[in-house]
């Protein structure tokens, strides 16, 4: 009798998904949650978008965008999306997807409080037949050992009364060749039935679903992807510092290495790592590794190298100013780009903040320009407030040094080169855009 009841509930949620009658709730309407909620709603599912930020909800209700690479026209197209901060509406949802941040503490340990708080909120409204999916990037075992016990405190049993899975987000904001719908979706359930139901749901939404055997495999997939990038970025950053001492251009080396048709994948150096994933995920993996009495030497070394890059940039600025008989103390410096990558307005973990902090500690007077970020947002680790300055030839001429920290496409690099006394280019942006080296441009 119990098995019949379980099969009946499983079939009900499956039919609701297939008939597009399932109501979906996406918790967290940031860079991951908002495009996902829009996509789900465009596929014919009634979709609630939940967020604790009242300003986001107000803007979405007015069909306004707060994310630069998501145009308002796209938000207007999401007619089945209902933005709300009324979490009691979770009781109406058949599918609940968690897309909240998973930051680190000041000591680089995982901060799972957003996930835990969200799971506790869901538990208040959890009902039989409901599917819950965690998408927030985290270390393996989180879904099973952290989320599942919270939900089961309700007395409902996972795999019997409700279903639980993990599916890592793979967003790359601003990317043109792939989007939420076309990036393959890895899905792993805490149990077999949960995995099947989650796979069925995502197959109605994205082009390709990649089922894996467990939630732990799905969690580890995301860890591997981003740790792979973190380690390789650290490698080229370390080589950049070595080759700089040797008078060798790392970017030219990479271009030459790219000509090998096999066995090489290009990664590019920069002023440090940024974004939510790469600066955070390796530390999540190192944390859980210690619980298994294992030290992740490669990961920790990569973290040390990447964290040091803003210091390398500042050292280069100091050296170049000294060559021009100018002290860093009192020097006027302009940082171009506050976002962590080009052509988006995402400042999360951007190395520009650390560069500004280090320069100001040395007595420099620092301004910034970023057309995507008009003023510095509230950050967990940095406590300064600035507004983006305007950019023209007269402004550029005022500064002793211009640091290119982000290679925004909208910058007029010819104008910048023609009017800057000194440019410290951390992205090879001048050469990339003008195909020429200049005497007042120093690569860092």
Positions annotated as catalytic residues are 277
SS (H, E, C) the chain: CHHHHHHHHHHHHHHHHHCCCCCEEEECCCCCHHHHHHHHHHCCCCEEEECCCHHHHHHHHCCCCCCCCCCHHHHHHCCCEEEECCHHHHHHCCEEEECCCCCECCCCCECCHHHHHHHHHHHHHCCCCCEEEECCCCCCCHHHHHHHHHHHCCCCCECCCEEEEECCCCCCCCCCCCCCCCCCEEEEECCHHHHHHHHHHHHCCCCCEEEECCHHHHHHHHHHHHHHHHHHHHHHHHHHHHHHHHCCCHHHHHHHHCCCCCCCCCCCCCCCCCCCCCCCHHHHHHHHHHHCCCCCHHHHHHHHHHHHHHHHHHHHHHHHHHHCCCCCCCCEEEEECCCCCCCCCCCCCCHHHHHHHHHHHCCCEEEEECCCCCECCCCCCCCCCCECCCCCHHHHHCCCEEEECCCCCCCCHHHHHHHCCCEEECCCHHHHHHCCCCCCEEEC
């Amino acid at each position: 009798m119990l098995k019949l009841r379980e099969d009946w509930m499983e079939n009900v949620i499956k039919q609701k998904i297939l008939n597009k009658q399932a109501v979906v709730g996406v918790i967290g309407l940031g860079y991951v949650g908002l495009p996902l909620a829009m996509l789900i709603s465009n596929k014919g599912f009634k979709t609630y978008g939940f967020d604790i930020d009242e300003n986001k909800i107000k803007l979405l209700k007015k069909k306004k965008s707060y994310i630069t690479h998501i145009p308002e026209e796209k938000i207007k197209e999401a007619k089945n999306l209902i933005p709300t901060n009324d979490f009691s509406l979770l009781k109406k949802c058949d599918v609940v997807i968690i897309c909240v941040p998973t930051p680190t503490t000041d000591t680089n340990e995982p901060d799972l409080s957003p996930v835990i708080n969200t799971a506790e909120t869901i538990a208040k409204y959890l009902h039989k037949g409901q599917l819950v999916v965690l998408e927030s990037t985290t270390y393996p075992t989180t879904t099973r050992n952290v989320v599942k016990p919270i939900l089961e405190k309700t007395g409902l049993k996972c795999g019997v009364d409700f279903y639980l899975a993990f599916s890592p987000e793979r967003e790359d904001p601003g990317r043109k060749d792939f989007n939420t719908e076309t990036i393959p979706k890895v899905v792993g359930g805490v149990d077999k039935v949960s995995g099947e139901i989650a796979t069925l749901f995502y197959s109605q939404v994205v082009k390709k679903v990649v089922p894996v055997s467990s939630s732990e495999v799905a969690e580890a997939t995301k860890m591997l992807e981003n740790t792979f990038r973190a380690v390789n970025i650290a490698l080229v950053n370390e080589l950049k510092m070595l080759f700089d001492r040797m008078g060798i251009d790392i970017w030219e080396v990479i271009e030459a290495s790219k000509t090998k048709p096999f066995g090489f994948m290009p990664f590019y150096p920069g002023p440090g790592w940024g974004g939510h994933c790469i600066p955070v995920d390796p530390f999540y993996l190192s944390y859980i590794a210690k619980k298994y009495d294992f030290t992740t030497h490669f990961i920790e070394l990569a973290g040390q190298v990447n964290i040091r890059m803003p210091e390398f940039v500042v050292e280069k600025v100091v050296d170049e100013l000294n060559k021009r008989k100018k002290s860093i103390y009192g020097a006027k410096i302009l940082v171009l780009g506050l976002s962590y990558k080009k052509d988006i307005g995402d400042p999360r973990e951007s190395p520009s903040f650390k560069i500004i902090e280090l320069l100001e500690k040395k007595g420099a007077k620092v301004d910034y320009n970023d057309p995507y970020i008009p003023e510095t947002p509230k950050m967990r680790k940095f406590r300064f407030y600035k507004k983006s300055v305007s950019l023209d030839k007269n402004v550029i001429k005022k500064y002793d040094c211009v640091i290119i920290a982000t290679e925004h496409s909208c910058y007029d690099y010819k104008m910048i080169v023609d009017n800057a006394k000194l440019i410290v280019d951390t992205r090879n942006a001048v050469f990339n855009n003008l195909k020429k080296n200049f005497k007042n441009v120093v690569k860092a």
